[in-house]
Amino acid sequence: MSNSTAKLPPTLDKNRRLDRWVRINIEGTVTVRTGKVEIGQGIVSAIAQIAAEELDINYSRIRMMPVDTTISPNEGSTSGSRSVEEGGEAMRQACAEIRDALLQAAARKFDTSLEKLSVEDGTIRVRGSSDTITYWQLAPEANLARDATGQVRPKHADEFKLVGKALPRLDITAKLTGAAFIHDLVLPGMLHGRIVRPPSYRAKLLSLDDGAARAMPGVRAIVREGSFIGVIAGREEQAVKAMQALARGCEWREQADLPDVDAMPEFLLAQAAEDENLSDKSAASTAPGKTLTATYTRPYLAHASIGPSCALAWWHEGTLEVWSHSQSIYALRDEIAKILKLSPDNVIARHADGAGCYGHNGADDAAFDAVLLARAVEGHPVRVQWMREDEFAWEPFGPAMVVKVGGSLSVNGNVTEWKEEIWGNRHVSRPGRHPDPGLLAAWHFDQGYEPPPAVDMPLAMGGGSQRNAVPYYDFPGQSVINHAVKAMPVRTSTLRALGAYINVFAIESFMDELAAAAGIDPVEFRLRHLKDERAQAVIRAAAAKAGWKPNAKGDGTHGMGIGFARYKNIGDYVAVIAKVAVAESVRVVRVVAAIDCGCIVNPDGIINQVEGGIVQATSWTLKEQVRFDRTRITTRTWEDYPILNFSEAPKVETVLINRPEQASLGVGEGMAGPTAAAIANAVFNAMGVRVRELPMTPERIVAAMGE
Amino acid sequence: MTETIKLNVNGVEHSVTAEADTPLIYILRNDLNLMGTRFGCGLGQCGACNVLIDGNNVASCDTPLWAAAGKRTTTIEGLGTPDHLHPLQQAFVDEQAAQCGYCVNGIIISAKALLDRNPEPGEDEIRAALDRNLCRCGTHNRFIRAIQRMVREAKGNVAR
Ligand code: FES
Ligand code: FES
């Protein structure tokens, strides 16, 4: 490793070999390997766009390859809206260096200098001469089997030809014409597996009568490891029927060890917690003024992917191959190897697209299920798909949380003191984040593993439960404390935006409560507490687009509200204004969002994410809550867990503020919290009723009216 | 008890051997290799598996094989192919109407059923016609815009 290597983007620094990222093919195409995966956010196409830009080739020449642990760069997990920031930056630098290597080869060939060369769609021309050569001709001699150096500067924003354009995604046509997902993979000799999950988290299998299932047509094997049970059959419907027969043959011992779903705040507040001070600055003077306090809560929320988790595994000749829609393919490989005491070199994991996941769902668990089943039929690939009921019951939920906020106002209506405390589980139980394995089936082995405790990222990297807990506003006095609850009775992990959903909901609701107490317009109140001009700009842009009228009151049923955040306090800037109509229930009629995510790679891709994030957050906020009795998760089907439908989905208008000179920032998650707050603030604006508990069901509205 | 049952799918006659109560979705996907029909819930609740049977929009996860016997089934593959997209699919591509895209084919099928009985639906009619299709990514507005584009283009009066 040379000491002269300039600073490289972190994931390129970890995967320096240029030929891991890009291969120039003699037939005029370019194979590009990113370590980031498609989870419905359009990221793979955005990275293709960046590669085409830096290489100076047409976008249509790019062939994006799914992550494969035998060759792809290891870029960790695809999460936290970091894919363009991390994966895009690494790709940008790698491609700039590859373009340079190709130009150097051309310069040598024509005995000229780099300055004399220009490139268009992979064809290099020597200025003032008729000499041309293409990347495809140069491919054999340009040495890409070397490390990135950081010595080549990627393009400057004003040189961009493709970045910033609304190019179509590479994957959409396939998805709406036929096979495109992991669910659609077929391997020679493939069998179908299904799992019989326990009826509740800590149920123990007392006895299993598998006679009926064994006698069923097509059944090839039944796998039992402790309380883990699965079945393999030749046809998919045979596997389903055998699974149902097996379930009838099980006798379980269960325990009533879940808290009261309708008293989660009380439960969380009563638990032992690891306390951490997230911010502590004391005000210079404490001039007397109004003081307010309020408590905000959120329930457990499900990822509730439309497609159930699915995976394929195949043991053959001492190798295990796994296909998964996991967000962390390398970590999944390592975790499987660790549990089964294999060398990671003998395990190959590959990504194939799943349905949108919005965080850590059952993807990794399904992969391990497939591995365990396939081991019983060596030589045959086994495809496992979860049942909808198991997807709901066993996926890790986004944790329930409580946020208490207190604030004081000066006589001229400025916040002098802000006090905030949050309670809930930490948010990350992805595989690879803890010494104990995070794969579900391993908990049910006889020599089982305890479910690993969830962890948080450090706040400087965006945190988890504490994400956006510290207000982005400038308050003279401020204290923020996280009480990370240790007991984890319900399985939890990352759900889109993590703690930012409720933390921003609480902060932005309370800002409105303070603004009302101070008699100041909510937009004006926010602006006067923000120093960052980019933050002010999104608020002004949203207000202008929405036709915000300062101090306008709703008419008893219609109202408008605003929410703002800078995601993770280091990511994209988002201001959301919601317009609601309240009858028996809250209807969100229209939402306007203004976003500043630095340099825009694909404006249409960003608008797609923003529209989707807002509709999803509206659904969480108005309707969603995972339910359980004292023993079992009772949310099992879409009837138990209604989500927003087409008639209920709000119209969304998006204003993008492009800053080509700034770093690109991810947009997948930033709108969740502001949307929730904008809706609550609009309800208050409409009817003077403050709803602090999520979801804002009709019953909650009625209850809040009585307060 | 397996039976041999005749199906007409996308205009092609097939005969398949399976238990007569097998949900149609497994036959379409695993026997006929028509993977565009997606399994979402298996409970008739989400619409990801929708197909047209004699022109009616049905959940193929909730339809036994025998119920499709002798009838005409249309899947997304029967609308168009990557090289020859159906105008509805083309409109969805033009609007980039997908995030993960898992729900989309069921939505296109529901839209087809709607447009076949009402070629010029208003926005509220489109929304109502899709209310039994779930989309978790929140792509609702794009789908509506795609269907509206299709309606406009069918009228030969293309906006923009
Ligand atoms: S899979 Fe058939 S309706 Fe959901
Ligand atoms: S686009 Fe992902 S579920 Fe609809």
Higher per-residue confidence, B108 vs A43: B108
Domains (range + CATH), chain B: 2-78 (3.10.20.30), 87-154 (1.10.150.120)
| Residue B34 in contact with ligand 2 by CB distance below 6 A | no
Could you tell me which residue, A278 or A1, shows the higher pLDDT?
A278
A689 to each of A469, A556, A705, how far by Cα in Å? 24, 10, 6
Q: Is the pLDDT of residue B160 over 50?
A: no
- How far is the CA of A507 from the CAs of A82, A128, A552, A565, A625, in angstroms? 24, 62, 22, 9, 21
Question: Residue B30 is nearest to which of A42, A235, A609, comparing CB atoms?
Answer: A235
Domains of chain A: 10-168 (3.30.365.10), 182-254+303-394 (3.30.365.10), 401-427+464-705 (3.30.365.10)
Residue B79: C-alpha distances to residues A302, A467, B33, B43 (Å): 34, 46, 16, 25
CA atoms within 13 A on the CB side of A417: 18
Q: Which residues of B touch A42 (CB under 8 A)?
A: 99
Mutate to test the interface with A, among B17, B27, B136, B160 (most CBs of A within 10 A): B136
Sorted by sequence, the CB contacts under 8 Å of residue B37 that are 6+ apart come out as B25, B28, B29, B49, B50, B51, B60, B75, B76, B105, B106
| Mean pLDDT, rounded, for A18-35 | 96
Helix (H) or strand (E) holding B111, with range, is: helix B104-117
Each residue's pLDDT tens digit, A69-106: 999 999 998 887 778 888 999 999 999 999 999 999 99
Assign residue A15 a region: left if phi > 0, alpha if psi is -120 to 50, beta otherwise? beta
Using the predicted structure, report yes or no on whether residue A397 has a pLDDT greater than 50: yes
Ligand 2 centroid distance, CA of B102 (Å): 5
pLDDT at A287: 64
pLDDT reported for residue A451: 86
Measure B34 CA to nearest chain A CA, in Å: 7
Q: Quick check: A638 and B45 CB within 8 A?
A: yes
How far is the C-alpha of A52 from the C-alpha of B44, rounded, in Å? 43
Residue A273: strand pairing partners: A485
Tens-digit pLDDT profile for residues B37-73: 999 999 999 999 999 999 999 999 999 999 999 999 9
Would the CB atoms of A177 and B35 count as touching at under 8 Å?
Answer: no
- Ligand 2: atom nearest CA of A305 is 3
Q: Is the CB of B45 under 6 A from ligand 1?
A: yes
Distance of CA A311 to the CA centre of its chain: 20
> Nearest Cα to A306, choosing from A39, A65, A113?
A39
Interval A514-541: pLDDT, tens:
999 999 999 999 999 999 999 999 999 9
pLDDT score, position B159 = 46
For strand A558-566 and strand A573-582, is the pairing parallel, antiparallel, or unpaired? antiparallel
In degrees and rounded to multiples of 5, residue A533 shows phi and psi of: -65, -30
Q: Give yes or no for residue B84 having a pLDDT over 90.
A: yes
Question: Rounded to the nearest 5 degrees, what angle is found at the Cα of A374, between the Cα atoms of A370 and A377?
Answer: 160
Question: Identity (one letter) of the amino acid at A104?
Answer: Q
DSSP H or E stretch at residue A652: strand A651-657
Cβ under 8 Å to A: B residues 64-123: 76-77, 80-82, 85, 89, 92-93, 96, 98-105, 108
Q: Tell me whether strands A382-385 and A191-196 are parallel, antiparallel or unpaired.
A: parallel
pLDDT, tens digit, 9 for 90 and up, residues B97-146: 999 999 999 999 999 999 999 999 999 999 999 999 999 999 999 999 99
Mean pLDDT, range B150-155, rounded to an integer: 93
Split at pLDDT 50, 70, 90, the class of A3 is very low
Q: State the Cα–Cα distance between residues B63 and B22, nearest whole angstrom.
A: 8
> Model-level pTM greater than 0.90?
yes
**DSSP H helical ranges for A25-131:** 43-55, 89-110
User: Ligand 1, from B28, B38, B41, B135: best to mutate by most atoms within 8 Å of Cβ?
Assistant: B41
Cβ B34–A178 below 8 Å, yes or no? yes
pLDDT at B158 over 70: no
Q: Three-state SS string across A497-566, please?
A: CCCHHHHHHHHHHHHHHHHHHHCCCHHHHHHHCCCCHHHHHHHHHHHHHHCCCCCCCCCCCEEEEEEEEE
> What gap in Å lies between CA A94 and CA A86, rounded to an integer?
12
Using CB atoms and an 8 Å cut-off, which of residues 460-499 of chain A contact chain B? none
- Give the pLDDT confidence of A632-680 residue by residue, as tens digits: 999 999 999 999 999 999 999 999 999 999 999 999 899 999 999 999 9
Contact criterion met (CB < 8 Å) for B101 and A186: no
Which tokens sit at A21? 């990222």
How far is C-alpha B99 from the geometric centre of its chain's CA atoms?
17
How does DSSP classify residue A434?
S
Residue nearest ligand 2's atom 4 by CA: B135
Which numbered ligand comes closest to the C-alpha of A308? 1
Sign of CA dihedral B14, B18, B20, B24: negative
Confirm whether the ipTM is greater than 0.85: yes
Strand order from edge to edge, sheet including A123-126: A117-120, A123-126, A132-134
The stretches of A168-235 forming alpha helices (DSSP H) are 172-175, 211-214
User: Is residue A429 within 8 Å of A450, Cβ to Cβ?
Assistant: no
Considering only CA atoms, which of A373, A167, A295 is closest in space to residue A707?
A295
